[in-house]
Structure 1
Amino acid sequence: MKRFFLLAFLVAAAVAGYQWRAEISQMAGLQPPAKPSAPAQPAQARTEPVVMAPVEARDMPVQVATIGRVQAIATVGVKPRVDGEIAEVAFREGQDVKAGEVLFVLDRRSAEATLRAVEANLARDRAQAQQARAEVRRASELTQRDFVSRQRYDQLETTAAVQEAVVRATEAAVENARLTLSYMTIRAPIDGRTGAVALKKGNVVRAADTGTLVTITQIRPIYVSFTATQKDLAEIRRADDQAEIRVEATIPEDTGPAMSGIVTFVDNNIDAATGTIALKATMPNADSRLWPGQFVNVVATLRTEKNAITVPAAALQVGQNGDYLYVVKPDMTASVRTVKVSRVVGERAVIREGLQAGERVVVEGQLRLTEGTRVRDQRAAPATRTPTS
């Protein structure tokens, strides 16, 4: 009997403890209320704000963009042609000079004395030749009267001919002496900018020396050399046959305008190691902004493609299957579309396949999009609400 009462007591205590725990949990929010809530309504699809742009048909240039290097058309090392002491340096290092300007003057005294000596010899030889010719004329009259033998006459004629030859030899010596004297003044062979002067006033130079006195580099005009891939060769040849190929060169970190020129050289073979062909453009370089050895950005325009399909380059995305973008359909949902890009010119991409003019693409906000996402153009003006009465 006592066991029965003990068992009943334990069961009653367990039931009371369970009810007390349930009430405490409900008050603490650990369990939902007994009355079920109404079923939730389905949420509306989210609309993502994006920036859109139309697909446009434009005339776009066909270009070759690459890195080029500035190259001097001519570089000349100035050397002496005769031996002598430098008497004067007539220019400053780094100075622009014109062809024919005086650069160096050597000591002229020895050359001038040599010239005077050979000029005196020429005067003597001319006088002797004149006398010999006069004797021939007199002997000719006497030979006709048999006062002078024919043998004597021939000797006089030979002497006169020898004297005339001596005169010609001395005239050549005078010309050579004058030329040597002119070499004492060293002039600029081309227009250009001078470099560092190797020897100053007072140094003795020799024609046999291998070094140069100064180097002159032509700055205006100047070459910009660059390369193009062999796949561009056909376009380059067609453009070169039809008209001049225009080239623009810009200097990195230079705020000045691009410099224009034309292609004046296309190499006659393709480099087998790199698969490229060398070209040169001639630039006027009137302001001397281009400098030999400098690297520049080069854009050569070959032709203009009419009505090319273009989009902003920012619309393009790169995936595992190539380039793609998001096209906005008429129901304002985004659709992924793979495209084939022909080239990028500035901020516009030329599409070879996959788009038509008049369509719209997403240029900002692509990271939030998937196939079928509803979108709105965040640049469009918001719709105004009609006030309710």
Structure 2
Amino acid sequence: MQLKKWLSLIGVVAVVIGLAGCSKNMDVKVETVSFSQAPVTLTLEGSVSSLTVVNVIPKLSGKIVTTPLVKGQEVQAGEVVAKVDDSIYRRQVQTARYATSAVAAPVTPKVDPAEQAKLANWYNLGAISRVEYDRLMRQAAVAAVPVTAGTGTAALSSSVEAAQAMLANAVIVSPIAGRITAVADNPSLAIAGKVLATIQQISPLVVSVTVPENYIKTLGDAWHKGGLHIDIMNPSGKTEPGRLTYLTTVKDPSTGTFVAKITFTNADKSFSPGELCYVRLSTERQAPQLTVSKKAVQTKDSGDFVYIVNDKGIVDTRAVLTGDTVAGRVVILDGLQAGERVVSDPPASLQIGMKVKTR
């Protein structure tokens, strides 16, 4: 009985060891990653931005008497977007104009009565002729006109112009057509020199994407020689054609990628600055691309990954950035290098750290 018990235990241990041995030496099919020439169909994530952004900054302070601006509101170039209470400035203009009119009014020369009596006495005594009397009276009249009148008129005219300029600043117009994307904490109050609102142009818009190095030559040729098709897609599924307007020739050393900019009309205004979108670039021109079997790509919450096998036959995982799927093969944009071995159809029991046999 005791012997049977020990034999049973030995059998169980043998089974466990056998299973462990099998798991460590699982037979898996691998493929070696390499570049292959194929027509380009590339989908990249991009960020939408505006070509023109302006801040609306009042030139004077006061209560805004028009409807307060709100985020998302669309405006046209030259449209009055706000008006500051201008009553105080209107009064200043009226006061300055009145003062100017009073100073500029014709001055009737008045000769000093004593001077007039003296000249009349000289004339009556025959000391001066009538001609001399008239000349001396004219001189006395000119001398009676204040010499500061012209200076006062100029100063008051400047005051009128300054008041009118302030009055004009009470009306705030939009310099561009676009959408209000930000407003002040209190949009009912204008503060001179402080941003009241931000307006961004929404047509056209531009999308910036980073392009892997191995696609640059092909996309550049298609751009300059024709045959490059571009679509921009937003998260809601709306699609609009675009055109490549910029492709840098300088690689970002930290990412190994190149920046491209695509401009599009945004005809129905379904795209907004600041949102993410997808850019699909396609051309019949071929480019060297890394691809793996569609079954090799696994997905979990953190994203796509593949199982790789090192030179010692040990399994590990590698996060990958995937592109489009063409003829059952997935384009790998980042995460793998040519020459690495990938498990092409990983079994569900495959785990990191396992030692496997490859075929």
How many residues are matched? 241
Structure 2: runs of 5+ lacking an equivalent: 1-37, 109-134, 137-142, 298-306, 310-321, 330-344, 347-359
**Shift in CA distance, 125/231, structure 1 to aligned 2, threshold 3 Å:** farther
Distance in 2, Cα, partners of 1:244 & 1:305: 8
Larger Rg: 1
Match of 1:224 among 207, 212, 231: 207
1:235 deviates by 3.3
**Shift in CA distance, 175/263, structure 1 to aligned 2, threshold 3 Å:** farther
TM-score for the superposition, normalised by structure 1: 0.49
SS at structure 2 position matched to 1:87:
coil
Distance in 1, Cα, partners of 2:268 & 2:220: 31
Say yes or no: does 1:82 pair with 2:67. no
The residue identity in structure 2 corresponding to 1:273 is: S
Match of 1:304 among 254, 263, 284: 284
1:348 deviates by 3.9
Q: RMSD over aligned Cα, in angstroms? A: 4.7
Say yes or no: does 1:119 pair with 2:105. no
1:216 deviates by 2.3
The residue identity in structure 2 corresponding to 1:87 is: V
Say yes or no: does 1:73 pair with 2:64. no
SS at structure 1 position matched to 2:60:
coil
CA deviation vs aligned residue, 1:160-190 (integer Å, no higher than 9, x gap): 9x93x87666555433322211221222232
Hey, what does 1:287 align to over in structure 2?
Answer: 268
Distance in 1, Cα, partners of 2:225 & 2:161: 52
Match of 1:247 among 203, 209, 230: 230
Distance in 1, Cα, partners of 2:52 & 2:74: 14
1:126 deviates by 5.4
**Shift in CA distance, 217/315, structure 1 to aligned 2, threshold 3 Å:** closer
Conservation of the 8 A alpha-carbon contact between 1:198 and 1:214: no
SS at structure 2 position matched to 1:290:
coil
1:83 deviates by 1.8
Distance in 2, Cα, partners of 1:344 & 1:225: 17
Conservation of the 8 A alpha-carbon contact between 1:90 and 1:102: no
Hey, what does 1:207 align to over in structure 2?
Answer: 192
1:81 deviates by 1.0
CA deviation vs aligned residue, 1:106-155 (integer Å, no higher than 9, x gap): 21111111222333354456557x99xxxxxxxxxxxxxxx79xxxxxx9
Distance in 2, Cα, partners of 1:167 & 1:246: 69
CA deviation vs aligned residue, 1:40-91 (integer Å, no higher than 9, x gap): xxxxxxxxxxxxxxxxxxxx85344321111222333323211222223255
Distance in 1, Cα, partners of 2:84 & 2:52: 26
The residue identity in structure 2 corresponding to 1:278 is: V
1:245 deviates by 5.3
1:269 deviates by 3.3
**Shift in CA distance, 61/107, structure 1 to aligned 2, threshold 3 Å:** same
Distance in 2, Cα, partners of 1:272 & 1:73: 26
Match of 1:96 among 66, 71, 74: 74
CA deviation vs aligned residue, 1:290-344 (integer Å, no higher than 9, x gap): 222222221224x4339x9xxxx989989999xxxxxxxxxxxxxxxxxxxxx98
Match of 1:110 among 84, 88, 95: 88
Match of 1:270 among 235, 240, 251: 251
Conservation of the 8 A alpha-carbon contact between 1:260 and 1:283: yes
The residue identity in structure 1 corresponding to 2:81 is: L
Distance in 1, Cα, partners of 2:199 & 2:47: 19
Structure 1: runs of 5+ lacking an equivalent: 1-59, 132-146, 149-154, 322-342, 351-365, 368-389
Conservation of the 8 A alpha-carbon contact between 1:122 and 1:171: yes
